Amino acid sequence: MASFRIWCVISLLTLQDFLANGHSVPGLYVFGDSSVDAGNNNYLNTNAKANMFPYGIDFNNHSTGRFSNGKTFADIIAIKLGLPMSPPYLGISKIERYQVTTGINYASASCGILNSTRNGDCLSMNQQIEYFTSTVINDLPRILPSNTKLRHYLFKSIYLISIGSNDYILNYLKNTMGNKNIDNPEDYANFLLNQLASHIKRIYDLGARKFVVVGVGPVGCIPSFIIRTPQSQDCNEDINQKVKPFSDNLPGMLQELQAQLLGSLFVNVDTYNFFMKLRNSPEKFGSINMVDSCFVPGAKPCENRKQFYFFDFAHTTEVVNHLYANECFGGTQLCFPLTIKQLVHAH
């Protein structure tokens, strides 16, 4: 409770700061899956939870439900924006919900763009947007009663969306293995992107303008899909070819949305190609192990967690989340056509 009170004070200070200075970002709202879940799944009936050791071993050894040893990409972006880490929507009380003015995290592990993507209970993108609607309609007006100020606040905030991998891992790839009669990869990617676009339009209609959208990475390169022989550890290229059209076609979809939605701005986080750059020349980025997991269930986690790309079977370590956040904030190799720093100052 004490820490919540302190954080509320910070929250109010940030709000005053924002009202006094139109250039800063007042809030970070997060939508997505386990890549950015900050603990929503702790409150759901599912096995897709990360609220046990060794998750959080470098988060003061506190297992919050984040699927990493430490902070997620969303956490680090919040910190870089001068904001507290956005708390999980299901982890805060109703009263707390309308005191938070620095952003909320609706992300939920094992969910996806499609309603049908799930593995146990989770918050689909649709459900996440329903919660966000409640934030905008019921909660924020209590602290920002002036309609003009609320609109300004929503315009200036940033909306981070990191979703889509599970629409492949828990949906499409399973169906292709089951030999079901399904779309080819190009059609499936375009179907997903259309659905994602309509989700984004709903968020825009509620007042959002500045979006950061994370693409689907090369799923065939996660430790559970890597093809291992005594001589080699190769990505599963069959899987990568099925997944790649999503990230190939995402920038075009975002450009179209930007042209369509007045005042909107989009940053595309090109994880697919950035991962490949890392994998092809890891020495440029500090020689990180990109094929093994730092920990597997039942064994002790690795000691040298700064030298691993993957913390578990699929999720990234904090050091990698820092690398992505730094690159997207001010670098030239990951985020297009704007960096987050440029997005902050745009308009």
Minimum CB–partner distance for residue 205 and ligand NAG (Å): 15
What's the CA gap between 122 and 117, in Å, rounded?
9
Could you confirm whether 34 is annotated as catalytic?
A: yes
- Contact between 83 and 28 (Cβ < 8 Å): yes
Q: Residue 294's Cα: distance from chain center in Å? A: 21
Q: Token match 């969306």: residue?
A: 161
Question: Measured from the CB atom, is 193 or 335 closer to ligand NAG?
Answer: 193
Q: Which is nearer to ligand NAG, 60 or 232 (CB)?
A: 60
Binding stretches for ligand NAG (CB under 6 A)? 53, 61, 115, 126
Task: Please spell the DSSP secondary structure of 216-261, one letter per residue.
Answer: ---GGGSTTT-EE-SS-EE--HHHHHHHHHHHHHHHHHHHHHHHHS
In the complex, the smallest distance separating the C-beta of residue 55 from ligand NAG, rounded to whole angstroms, is: 10
CB-nearer residue toward ligand NAG: 118 or 315: 118
CA distances to 67, 240, 323 from 59, in Å: 11, 32, 17
- β-strands 233-234, 335-336: how paired? unpaired
- Rounded to whole angstroms, the maximal C-alpha distance in the chain is 65
- Compute the distance between CA of residue 141 and CA of residue 217 in angstroms, rounded to an integer: 37
Closest of 324, 330, 326, 325 to residue 343, by C-alpha:
330
Least separation in angstroms between residue 53's CB and ligand NAG is 4
Q: How far apart are CA 259 and CA 237, in angstroms?
A: 34
In eight-state DSSP terms, residue 68 is: S
Decide whether 274 or 295 has the Cβ nearer to ligand NAG: 295
CB atoms within 10 A of CB 204: 19
Q: Active-site residue among 11, 34, 124, 293?
A: 34
In the complex with ligand NAG, which residue's Cβ is closer, 53 or 313?
53
Nearer to ligand NAG, 116 or 281 (CB): 116
Q: How far is the CB of 328 from ligand NAG (least distance, A)?
A: 29
- Is residue 312 part of the annotated active site? The answer reads yes
Our measurement of the distance from residue 331's CA atom to the centroid of its chain's CA atoms, rounded to an integer in Å, reads 19
CB of 47 to ligand NAG, least distance (A): 19
CA–chain centroid gap for 138, Å, is: 25
Nearer to ligand NAG, 63 or 307 (CB): 63
Question: Is omega for the bond preceding 337 within 30 degrees of 0, making it cis?
Answer: yes
In the annotation, is 139 catalytic? no
| Least distance (Å) between residue 70 CB and ligand NAG | 13
Half-sphere exposure of 341 (CA within 13 A, CB side): 10
Min dist CB 292 to ligand NAG, Å, is: 22
Among 33, 139, 270, 312, the one annotated catalytic: 312
Catalytic residues: 34, 312, 315
